[in-house]
Structure 1
């Protein structure tokens, strides 16, 4: 048996607690019963001695008392006014003619009762004794004593003690069985969880734990299952990430390598053709630099190492600057940028440059995926606690099945036309993280063939809060 197993530890703890409770309870129960039994015996002796004393006070017939005692199998002895035993109980040390101690005689003469334990000097047997005075009309005639063997009392108490011990042993074994069942019931799910986590650690992320209860163990099982799901999602995402990054890096590198070889080996007809190849190499190197920069920024955001220069900024100014920068690209495609900014909006606490990056990315995306129409930018105060910004286009739109994934890294809706539209596939992932890290939210809705709308919300806080 492995002594460090939880079933042993848990079982041992429960049994120890059971013993800690059982032993004091057994001891107290034994003491209470012993005291109660002794008190009942003493009470019976007092009643008997009082009856015999009353009988002798009225009859003055000690012989009759002796006959009654023998008939009732009760040990009785009677002393006269001088303290001499005139009726003996059949105990050698209390034979006829023996005198009781003077202090007892004096106490009896004053009407006091005698309660004591007496030990026979010949046999060593101990007795519980109750003595009462014999008085009639205030005249003292002696006293009567009733005895009960302590051995008989001890035997009765011992039987009860034996019964208590047997009951305790029985309760102990029942507790052991109960503890074993409970320990196994509690430890089996934990053992299953241990086995499941070891499988998960070895890469078997399909492993799941059975949830058999709704208590803390059930919550732990749910947590392990959720961990397995998250790890599986992480592994799939990581594999997809490496595949995507490999593809995104390999494509420009292939272009650069091919056209550089053409230029190096002079495989062109005219100087114009040579410049065209060099231009392609430059564009692909710029695209590669942009991709690496975006990856670096996104990595820092996800690791929590991204720093912001937070200050009070006017979002209206930020959006106006962005639309001014993006206006040339819109004009080249024959698009119009429509801006509707509510006046006198309060400033927000954010990083101005990063906010410009967010809106420039969204507006350039709207221009990139729109062939005609207008890009709408609207900002207003939705309620007393937040500002709402809509960036809407009349472009190709996004299918509903694709919407949950557009903030994922390298995700593109038009995969077959990705190079025609350009971009690294990281822009919306960066936008999503920048918005979240500055306390905002971003949502998207779209309809294929009609356009896409991004809704951003940023909280309004008082200037004392930061």
Structure 2
């Protein structure tokens, strides 16, 4: 079916080219001959008009045949009958079509030439008497022989000139039609080749530029489509890669605590934990691993809800100063056991915003937890709060190992982990910062990161002040 459809489109294109050819060449050809006919008719009418005007002026010659003869024959004078008959033979030199003379009782008829009916002629009739008293009657038909020659010559010249111009016009149109057809077919062949490349999955090519605006616009539109397809393909490939990495990470991150839980449970069952103190220690390890698995599953569930925009966001009034103080107190208790420190620095007494308290707490915990993973013993985390541009900026700075600049732009991507070698000592799914970015954006803010290798990382986010959020 697809081949048939392509064939139909090709035939339609040929039909259109034939139509263009007819309009560009044949139609002007017909119009030219029509105009040539009109020109011929006009020229004929003009010449006939001139002939009529000529013979109309000849009406003044109607005085007498004798005067006409004297006028045209340079001194031929009518006298005696015999003399007149001899002299009348000179009339053949006149531009006459035919002539009838009746001299006395004898009638004479002369026919000199045949003139087309379309050429005007004029008849003169009259009578007079010779000097010997013989009556003469005449009837003369003046024909435009000279004018007819002019018409024939004009027709011949017009026809030759017209045919020459027509052939030149035809050749010129044929040349331009060939160039246009070649250009159009070349453009479609280019498009066909591009479509075939896309069909085979090849999106790494460029379209040529065209000097014709319409074709260049078509190329640009097709190239934009190619780039969009390429971008979609790259995104799809990236998602597929992320999915595979996610499965691998989840498998590892779930396998590690599960293996640990299974080992400690088996130890309890086998009686390895033969004292109450050992059993309590085993149970604490099992609980910690179970908590880690719970966090991982919770992150997966949360990112799924964010992807489909089904995570409700509350609009609670929050004073960021006491709110951050509470967060610092919670983390101080946890970090003391790791010999790490966390503190809050701010010159503000109040910082009112509107947001979801629970989700904002998740953002701060994700960032701090991410910093803790990269801190060495005795490392520190500092939270700074300051007012800026109609809102508040929270910066969480650590003294960890830092992040390379070429990786810094990806840390908010889903499933991304800064350790390209996937250091298995650092747990996590790579979803924490991606979740934080989504939450901050839904609260009307922005989030960014600054880092230097060996000097630590600062992750900051901006939230509008209460009443400033749009």
What is the TM-score of this pair, normalised by structure 2? Answer: 0.68
* Rounded Cα–Cα distance in structure 1 between residues aligned with 2:15 and 2:162: 27
Q: CA RMSD in A?
A: 4.5
Q: Once the 2 structures are TM-superposed, how far is the Cα of residue 363 of structure 1 from its aligned partner? A: 2.9
Partner residue in 2 for 1:47: 50
Partner residue in 2 for 1:4: 6
Alignment of 1:141-220 (within 5 A): 174=175, 177-200=178-201, 208-213=204-209, 215-220=220-225
* Rounded Cα–Cα distance in structure 2 between residues aligned with 1:274 and 1:413: 37
Q: Is the 8 A contact 1:398 1:413 kept in 2?
A: yes
Partner residue in 2 for 1:57: 60
- Alpha-carbon spacing, 1:155–1:278, altered in 2? closer, same or farther (3 Å): farther
Partner residue in 2 for 1:383: 389
1:285 counterpart = 2:287: no
Q: Deviation string for 1:385-430 (max 9, x for gaps)?
A: x543222122332333442332244444468896766544321121
Q: Deviation string for 1:168-187 (max 9, x for gaps)?
A: 87567546643542234222
Q: Is the 8 A contact 2:99 2:111 kept in 1?
A: yes
Q: Once the 2 structures are TM-superposed, how far is the Cα of residue 291 of structure 1 from its aligned partner? A: 0.7
Alignment of 1:254-333 (within 5 A): 254-310=259-315, 313-316=318-321, 318-332=323-337, 333=339
* Rounded Cα–Cα distance in structure 1 between residues aligned with 2:142 and 2:436: 109
Q: Tell me how many residue pairs correspond in the alignment.
A: 408
Q: Find the partner of 1:38 among 36, 41, 52.
A: 41
Q: Find the partner of 1:362 among 347, 363, 367.
A: 367
* Rounded Cα–Cα distance in structure 2 between residues aligned with 1:434 and 1:401: 25
Q: Deviation string for 1:363-395 (max 9, x for gaps)?
A: 3433454433543222333325x5432221223
Alignment of 1:98-177 (within 5 A): 128=118, 174=175, 177=178
* Rounded Cα–Cα distance in structure 2 between residues aligned with 1:297 and 1:235: 20
Q: Once the 2 structures are TM-superposed, how far is the Cα of residue 308 of structure 1 from its aligned partner? A: 2.5
Partner residue in 1 for 2:228: 223
* Rounded Cα–Cα distance in structure 2 between residues aligned with 1:460 and 1:231: 38
Q: Deviation string for 1:224-278 (max 9, x for gaps)?
A: 4434433433333333233222222222232233333333344444343333333
1:235 counterpart = 2:240: yes
Q: Deviation string for 1:330-353 (max 9, x for gaps)?
A: 4443414123154565635x4333
Q: Is the 8 A contact 1:408 1:429 kept in 2?
A: yes
* Rounded Cα–Cα distance in structure 1 between residues aligned with 2:249 and 2:265: 24
Alignment of 1:307-456 (within 5 A): 307-310=312-315, 313-316=318-321, 318-332=323-337, 333-340=339-346, 342=348, 345=351, 347-348=353-354, 350-370=355-375, 371-372=377-378, 374-384=380-390, 386-413=391-418, 422-456=427-461
- SS class of match (2:200): helix
Q: Once the 2 structures are TM-superposed, how far is the Cα of residue 217 of structure 1 from its aligned partner? A: 3.5
* Rounded Cα–Cα distance in structure 1 between residues aligned with 2:287 and 2:261: 8
- Alpha-carbon spacing, 1:376–1:276, altered in 2? closer, same or farther (3 Å): closer
- Alpha-carbon spacing, 1:395–1:47, altered in 2? closer, same or farther (3 Å): same
* Rounded Cα–Cα distance in structure 2 between residues aligned with 1:133 and 1:264: 147
- Alpha-carbon spacing, 1:153–1:447, altered in 2? closer, same or farther (3 Å): same
* Rounded Cα–Cα distance in structure 2 between residues aligned with 1:217 and 1:382: 45
Structure 2 unaligned spans of 5+: 62-66, 74-90, 101-108, 125-138, 210-215
What is the TM-score of this pair, normalised by structure 1? Answer: 0.69
- Alpha-carbon spacing, 1:314–1:338, altered in 2? closer, same or farther (3 Å): closer
- SS class of match (2:300): helix
* Rounded Cα–Cα distance in structure 1 between residues aligned with 2:327 and 2:190: 58
Partner residue in 1 for 2:85: none
* Rounded Cα–Cα distance in structure 1 between residues aligned with 2:446 and 2:143: 99
- Alpha-carbon spacing, 1:228–1:184, altered in 2? closer, same or farther (3 Å): farther
Q: Is the 8 A contact 1:207 1:228 kept in 2?
A: no
Structure 1 unaligned spans of 5+: 71-75, 80-85, 95-124, 135-140, 201-205
Q: Is the 8 A contact 1:189 1:217 kept in 2?
A: no
* Rounded Cα–Cα distance in structure 2 between residues aligned with 1:170 and 1:357: 80
* Rounded Cα–Cα distance in structure 2 between residues aligned with 1:312 and 1:128: 107
* Rounded Cα–Cα distance in structure 1 between residues aligned with 2:466 and 2:11: 57
Q: Deviation string for 1:36-69 (max 9, x for gaps)?
A: 3321222222223333443563574698898565
Partner residue in 2 for 1:117: none
Q: Is the 8 A contact 2:402 2:457 kept in 1?
A: yes
Q: Is the 8 A contact 2:447 2:459 kept in 1?
A: yes
Q: Is the 8 A contact 1:316 1:341 kept in 2?
A: no
Larger radius of gyration: 2
Q: Is the 8 A contact 2:353 2:463 kept in 1?
A: no
- SS class of match (1:445): strand
* Rounded Cα–Cα distance in structure 1 between residues aligned with 2:379 and 2:272: 43
Q: Once the 2 structures are TM-superposed, how far is the Cα of residue 448 of structure 1 from its aligned partner? A: 3.0
Partner residue in 2 for 1:19: 22
Q: Once the 2 structures are TM-superposed, how far is the Cα of residue 451 of structure 1 from its aligned partner? A: 1.9
* Rounded Cα–Cα distance in structure 1 between residues aligned with 2:25 and 2:244: 61
Q: Once the 2 structures are TM-superposed, how far is the Cα of residue 294 of structure 1 from its aligned partner? A: 0.3
